[in-house]
Amino acid sequence: MKSHEEIYAFLQAYQIGVISTVSPQGLPNAAIVGFGQTKDLAILFGTDNTSRKYHNLKTNPQLAFTVGGKTAETVQLEGTARELAADELHLVSEHYWRKNPHAKSYHQNPTNRYFIITPRWLRYTDLRTDPWDITELSF
């Protein structure tokens, strides 16, 4: 079983993840996004306000997010996304741009928006062990 701090460290080792949203018509959409995370495992990411994920999240903020690929370890989470207000952009600087410095250049784009995902469920899985190391957290 992994601790909260160990899951944070696992996420810190990755710069991109896959976000899954649902359209107003109920159709799935998945996209790779750069991300950062807070110590309490909230996820921060940016997107363009013309993207499908942006419109999907404005209609239905429920989503899934997955990180992994370097090893047989993954983190899956489900949660709710909320667009950040202008006075919350320090979170982007502290947790997203620090990890993905190249992403700061997109901030100049007037259509760029930032979201924070508040997780309600998270599952860490390590398939390299026998039995598998599985940790589930509810928030």
Binning pLDDT at 50, 70 and 90, where does residue 120 land? very high
pTM of the model: 0.94
Q: What domains are there in the chain, each with its CATH number?
A: 4-138 (2.30.110.10)
Q: Which residues pair with 123 in a beta bridge?
A: 76, 136
Torsion of CA 100, 98, 65, 73, to 10 degrees: 90
Q: DSSP string covering 2-66, please?
A: --HHHHHHHHHT-SEEEEEEE-TTS-EEEEEEE-EE-TT--EEEEEETTSHHHHHHHH--EEEEE
Which residue from 109, 113, 118 is spatially nearest to 37, judged by alpha carbons?
A: 118
Residue 85 carries which side chain, given as an amino acid letter?
Answer: A
pLDDT at 39: 96
Which residues lie closer than 8 Å to 82 by C-beta, 6 or more apart? Answer: 61, 115, 116, 118
Q: Could you tell me the end-to-end alpha-carbon distance of the chain, in angstroms, rounded to an integer?
A: 17
Q: pLDDT tens digits for 1-10?
A: 899 999 999 9
Mean pLDDT estimate for the chain: 95
The residue-averaged pLDDT of 14-22 equals 97
pLDDT at 130: 94
pLDDT at 103: 86
Q: pLDDT tens digits for 22-73?
A: 999 999 999 999 999 999 999 999 999 999 999 999 999 999 999 999 999 9
